[in-house]
Structure 1
Amino acid sequence: MPFELQPLPYAEDALEPYIDAQTMRIHHDFHHGGYVNNLNNAIENYPDLQQRSIDDLIRNLHTLPEAVRTAIRNHGGGHFNHSIFWSVMGPNAGGEPTGEVATLINDVFGNFENFKTQFNDAGAKHFGSGFVWLVKTTNNQFEIISQPNQDCPWSDGHYPILCNDVWEHAYYLTYQNRRPEYLKQWWNTVNWNAVNERLAIAQRL
């Protein structure tokens, strides 16, 4: 199949106690895996789309055939978003941001505590399922946004730098309905080296 589910870049229990191993296994293998399978099914009769990267499909969503655009938005978005989500987390991570992203946060948001408060607030107030993002916008600003379901800011030209998944399946086994607690604890998993790599790409655009 044109798209494949890549293994987690760390062990399922590597983010404990902040995200438990069972959540990681179900989230990665079945939710993310389901998006990959459904994406492949959606483009089965479109060999030209099978040759394109997920980045290309999501970035140019508005140009895709109408018959499969919604499926690619939902399932391709799920694949794209989760691939970023796994990459910006890691074991023995968290703490204060480092490198260029630390400078960016201080310049744009005042300090890290302000940034976390605004990011967590966007996630806590997001109605229903979706993701909260730090993006570089089309007018070269850095903003925190939230988007529903598996919509991706890249489809609107906003480059994604950091994200957190606020679908209930991302946190419910440990935190139940306490999304704000999950949002607070999630910072202990953030891999700032990976975030700096995404920021470097954003700054070249």
Structure 2
Amino acid sequence: MKLDPFYLIVDSAAWIERLVPLGVKLVQLRIKDRDEKELQTEIRTAKALCARFRCQLIINDYWRLAIEEGCDFVHLGQEDLQTADLSRIQAAGVRLGLSTHDDVELETAMAAKPDYIALGPIYPTILKKMKWAPQGLERIAEWRARVTPIPLIAIGGLNPDRLDSAFEAGADSAAVVTDITLNDDPEARTREWIEKTNQWR
């Protein structure tokens, strides 16, 4: 499976409505602390928008809702992986992406036969408090050797200037959150990312 090299992560359907029409082809909806009705509305809106603009939508965490709403891709962290019904996810034809931060987590993830592996944080990140030190480019190269042929996603502290190094080290796709959502001009920054990643398609 080939993933788009630019992997946008946002926390609302409103962000998807703003940025996906610019040419984004891979986006994760990562929402925290909302009730189920709100989540359902957000997922339905995001799904409709992504279908309209031919963008692959990935739902973070809420695999049951993703199945109910007919979504075809979910992303799970290690804690969610412990409680997820992988056979049900597989039976629904839903693809699976998993987060990893160390050797133990990578072994756990690989046993689940995911459709991609994410590694982070590559650089220091302000997205959330991490107990892991920045992984660095060498870890990307190590993970690349260990997960081939599964696609490898790099996440954490990435920006357009660091992009080539991450891909040269072995990443297939770069996941981006705050570099865009906290930018003074998210639309311009998104266009910059798309232009920069076009050479890696």
TM-score (norm 2): 0.29
| Structure (1 or 2) with the greater helix fraction | 1
Q: Which has the higher contact order (CA 8 A, sep 6+)?
A: 1
TM-score (norm 1): 0.28
Q: Which has the larger radius of gyration?
A: 1
| Structure (1 or 2) with the greater strand fraction | 2
